[in-house]
């Protein structure tokens, strides 16, 4: 029996209320662990408590007195309370550097206080990036306990209650117990206080529930529930003579500590202890028992792809802002590597906000409620992304001033510095800003002069607050270049409109009926778009009319009833050229598609660059039925395999995954690369991290997949009936970069280019 308090930031109340609750829970646990009652208990009935994540302890430490801190350390060092290595439970939004940060607070505390830290506890979420397994091993964590919520997913290896060694990309291993959902000890009547007589959540077991709460003061409910449960496990081939059960003093997320279970365990052992013996334990004690009693535990390599992360598309604008904040934070670090301007403490403040947004709880449990509380919880979640973006943006302002950005004053010179923040050389387009009151200075035409005074081709384009002058530059790794804009009578227009675009790297073609239907790689002559699919960037809309979300999800491995869907491929309604010059052409394709008021695909083709920039500008309507809006990328390359950019390393879907993990969808970092022996395609997604590979798989619960086929960028969804928003209306822009090359036969290079497109050169004005 392992007692803990599940961390759900916002699910049961406002986030600041929950922070105070967890502060109380640690204080309660310390008092119970050191209570005089402990001396009268049998060692198997002692109160013990596992701190599920360091965030809870952090709340306690923020206000603990010196005396309370001493008592905490005494309880920790006695082994009655255990600290675990995680911070809290996360979606897959965080990259590897930020994931590493989430493990550092517990490590610092454990080193400082001499407390062991060998186990990590995960509840609710259904998986982790492969890189997270590497980080656990790197931090000296030997054990990972999971209590997945089967509401929207399943257990790896096809079933729960299984141990395995999870091998990291470098070959390190972490011992995993792939467990049942948490609170099973409550449902079995073993924790005391009010407990629900409900379904147990054991695969294949059904004990008729009374669907009511009972005030558990003795072991009568446990006798009715636990005995048949253990018989079921034995009869169904469960191979072990032990079973870990997680519980809490109250059957609720964010629940308090309690020691009433100590008496229930004493009663049970007095009556049944010769057959079924129960003991309290910390997480590490359980794993030590597991290692002693199960000598041969299998090893599996691969990503434990998470079913939970689909919810981030229910808040598309918040997630878009979050991803910008994450990129800006990394840009600050690259431009200020020695912390001359931004201290590590300030970076940590950004990291904390990013982690709080990536925490797995996005809203109140009663998502459909119109109450103030529901809005408060969602708004506070949004605030984490906004504040991360604000803190990162402020840091960038200061770093750019340090790197030479001039003051904002009248008659600023048209002199610019372009900085490559990457550790690789780049050729890229940059935009030199001109304010609207300065337009007379550029109205007659301009030229861009490089460091040697030579003219660089440029193009004047409108911007929200004036004009930008677009030009292309070559920069070495971490290199810089000075550019000047000077008046010139030279025209900035070029070429007449046609239905195709050709440069040295590719040939693209479109028409008003088929949209963007052809993309041919110049080096190989390969057609990169599947002719059997709709055009590149075409919207696809999926809806489940009157679909019951609860039945499609299900609890405790119960049967799921997937509603019937309707899928509509958008129809191209018009094509127009909106810009053309010496540097690029830009075209817009309008589409009619349900679920939107408008959908416009903007495509930018550069005359001397291999990449294509695409953006989908969407006015999304509010729809209450379960739905999903996607952008289709029907890319193909003979024998090409997708390599998805995940934290720590790329994975090939279906090939580099644990058996039974999620193949319905994937949450990406920079994007993906389609790689074959003769070349490939790098596909970058700046704003929308979720994708389906091959076909739409919403509610398919797929655990196998072919690592090829089209990519569907998943813009919005409202499939959850709890925790995430029920509608996704709003005005959004989702941006992408596409580049093909015969050099992309090397997956490492293809993914590196995909990542490089997320951090283009920075422009500052002197």
In terms of DSSP bridges, do strands 49-51 and 611-620 run parallel, antiparallel, or are they unpaired? unpaired
Helix (H, G, I), strand (E, B) or coil at 372: helix
From the list 654, 658, 676, 687, the residue with the least C-alpha distance to 758 is 687
Residue 360 contacts by C-beta under 8 Å, 6 or more apart in sequence?
8, 88, 89, 90, 91, 124, 125, 308
Average pLDDT over residues 567-580: 96
Rounded CA-CA distance 318/380 in Å is 11
Q: What is the pLDDT of residues 591-622, one digit of tens each?
A: 999 999 999 999 999 999 999 999 999 999 99
Q: What is the pLDDT of residues 87-107, one digit of tens each?
A: 999 999 999 999 999 999 999
pLDDT over threshold 70, residue 495: no
From the list 120, 106, 206, the residue with the least C-alpha distance to 198 is 206
Contact by Cβ (8 Å): 597, 619: yes
Q: What is the pLDDT of residues 103-140, one digit of tens each?
A: 999 999 999 999 999 999 999 998 999 999 999 999 99
pLDDT band at residue 491 under the 50/70/90 scheme: low
From residue 160, how far is each of 176, 271, 561 by CA, in Å?
11, 29, 21
pLDDT over threshold 80, residue 416: yes
Q: What is the pLDDT of residues 664-707, one digit of tens each?
A: 999 999 999 999 999 999 999 999 999 999 999 999 999 999 99
Mean pLDDT of the chain: 95
pLDDT value at residue 322: 98
Q: What is the pLDDT of residues 288-341, one digit of tens each?
A: 999 999 999 999 999 999 999 999 999 999 999 999 999 999 999 999 999 999
pLDDT over threshold 70, residue 10: yes
Question: Number of H helices and number of E strands within the chain?
Answer: 16, 37
Helix (H, G, I), strand (E, B) or coil at 323: helix
Q: What is the pLDDT of residues 40-83, one digit of tens each?
A: 999 999 999 999 999 999 999 999 999 999 999 999 999 999 99
Contact by Cβ (8 Å): 161, 317: no
Please provide the distance, in angstroms rounded to a whole number, between the alpha carbons at the two ends of the chain: 65
Contact by Cβ (8 Å): 118, 141: yes
Q: Which residues pair with 426 in a beta bridge?
A: 475
pLDDT value at residue 202: 76
From the list 6, 84, 29, the residue with the least C-alpha distance to 254 is 6
Lowest mean pLDDT among 12-26, 553-567, 647-661, 750-764: 553-567
Helix (H, G, I), strand (E, B) or coil at 535: coil
Q: Which residues pair with 732 in a beta bridge?
A: 618
Q: What is the pLDDT of residues 228-249, one digit of tens each?
A: 999 999 999 999 999 999 999 9
Contact by Cβ (8 Å): 610, 58: no
Q: Which of left, alpha, beta for 183 (phi over 0: left; psi -120 to 50: alpha)?
A: left
Indicate the DSSP class of residue 529: B
Backbone angles phi, psi at 637, to 5 degrees: -150, 130
Contact by Cβ (8 Å): 731, 372: no
């Amino acid at each position: 029996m392992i007692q803990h308090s599940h961390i759900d930031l916002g699910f049961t109340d406002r986030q600041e209320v929950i922070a105070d609750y967890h502060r109380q829970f640690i204080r309660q646990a310390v008092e119970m662990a050191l209570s005089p009652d402990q001396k009268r208990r049998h060692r198997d009935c002692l109160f013990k408590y596992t701190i599920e994540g360091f965030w809870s302890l952090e709340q306690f430490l923020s206000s603990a007195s010196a005396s309370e801190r001493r008592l905490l350390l005494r309880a920790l060092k006695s082994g009655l309370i255990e600290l675990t290595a995680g911070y809290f439970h996360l979606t897959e939004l965080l990259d590897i550097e930020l994931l590493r940060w989430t493990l550092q607070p517990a490590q610092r505390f454990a080193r400082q206080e001499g407390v062991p830290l060998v186990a990590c506890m995960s509840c609710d979420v259904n998986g982790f990036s492969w890189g997270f397994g590497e980080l656990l091993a790197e931090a000296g964590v030997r054990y990972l306990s999971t209590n997945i919520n089967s509401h929207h997913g399943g257990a790896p290896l096809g079933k729960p209650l299984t141990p395995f060694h999870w091998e990291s990309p470098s070959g390190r291993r972490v011992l995993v117990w792939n467990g049942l959902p948490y609170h099973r000890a409550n449902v079995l009547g073993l924790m005391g206080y009010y407990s629900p007589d409900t379904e147990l959540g054991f695969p294949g077991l059904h004990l008729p529930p009374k669907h009511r709460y009972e005030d558990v003061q003795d072991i009568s409910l446990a006798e009715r529930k636990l005995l048949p449960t253990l018989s079921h496990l034995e009869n169904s081939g469960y191979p072990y003579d032990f079973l870990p059960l997680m519980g809490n003093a109250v059957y609720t997320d964010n629940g308090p500590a309690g020691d009433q279970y100590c008496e229930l365990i004493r009663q049970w052992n007095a009556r049944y202890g010769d057959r079924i013996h129960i003991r309290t334990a910390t997480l590490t004690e359980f794993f030590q028992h597991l290692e002693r009693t199960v000598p041969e535990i299998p090893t599996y390599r691969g990503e434990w792809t998470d079913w939970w992360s689909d919810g981030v598309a229910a808040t598309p604008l918040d997630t878009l802002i979050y991803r910008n904040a994450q990129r800006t934070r990394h840009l600050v670090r690259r431009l200020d590597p020695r912390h001359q301007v931004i201290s590590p403490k300030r970076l940590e403040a950004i990291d904390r906000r990013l982690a709080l947004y990536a925490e797995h709880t996005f809203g109140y449990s009663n998502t459909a409620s119109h109450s103030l509380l529901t809005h408060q919880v969602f708004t506070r979640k949004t605030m984490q992304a906004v504040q991360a973006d604000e803190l990162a943006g402020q840091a960038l302002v200061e770093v750019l001033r340090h790197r030479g950005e001039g003051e904002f004053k009248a008659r600023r010179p048209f002199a610019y510095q372009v900085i490559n923040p990457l550790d690789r050389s780049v050729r890229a387009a940059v935009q030199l800003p001109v304010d609207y009151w300065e337009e007379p200075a550029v109205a007659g035409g301009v030229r861009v002069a490089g460091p040697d005074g030579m003219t660089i081709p440029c193009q004047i384009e409108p911007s929200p607050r004036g004009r930008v002058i677009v030009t292309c530059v070559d920069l070495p790794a971490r290199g810089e270049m000075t550019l000047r804009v000077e008046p010139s009578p030279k025209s900035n227009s070029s070429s007449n409109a046609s239905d195709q675009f050709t440069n040295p790297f590719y040939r693209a073609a479109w028409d008003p009926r088929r949209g963007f239907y052809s993309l041919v790689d110049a080096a190989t002559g390969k057609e990169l778009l599947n002719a059997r699919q709709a055009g590149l960037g075409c919207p696809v809309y999926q809806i489940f009319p009157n679909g019951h979300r609860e039945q499609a999800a299900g609890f405790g491995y119960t049967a799921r009833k997937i509603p019937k869907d309707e899928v509509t491929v958008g129809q191209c309604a018009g094509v127009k050229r909106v810009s053309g010059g010496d540097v690029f052409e830009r075209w817009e394709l309008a589409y009619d598609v349900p679920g939107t008021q408008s959908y416009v695909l903007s495509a930018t083709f550069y005359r001397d660059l291999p990449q294509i920039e695409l953006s989908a500008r969407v006015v999304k309507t509010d729809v209450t039925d379960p739905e999903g809006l996607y952008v289709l990328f029907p890319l193909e390359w003979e024998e090409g395999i997708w390599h998805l950019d995940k934290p720590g390393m790329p994975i090939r879907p279906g090939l580099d995954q644990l058996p039974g993990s999620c193949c319905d969808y994937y949450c990406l970092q920079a994007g993906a690369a389609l790689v074959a022996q003769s070349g490939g395609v790098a596909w970058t997604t700046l704003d929308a991290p979720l994708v389906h590979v091959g076909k739409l798989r919403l509610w398919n619960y797929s655990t196998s997949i072919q690592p090829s086929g089209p990519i569907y960028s998943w813009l919005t969804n409202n499939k959850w009936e709890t925790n995430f928003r029920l509608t996704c209306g709003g005005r959004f822009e989702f941006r992408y970069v596409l580049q093909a090359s015969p050099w992309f036969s090397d997956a490492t290079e293809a993914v590196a280019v995909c990542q490089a497109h997320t951090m283009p050169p920075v422009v500052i004005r002197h």
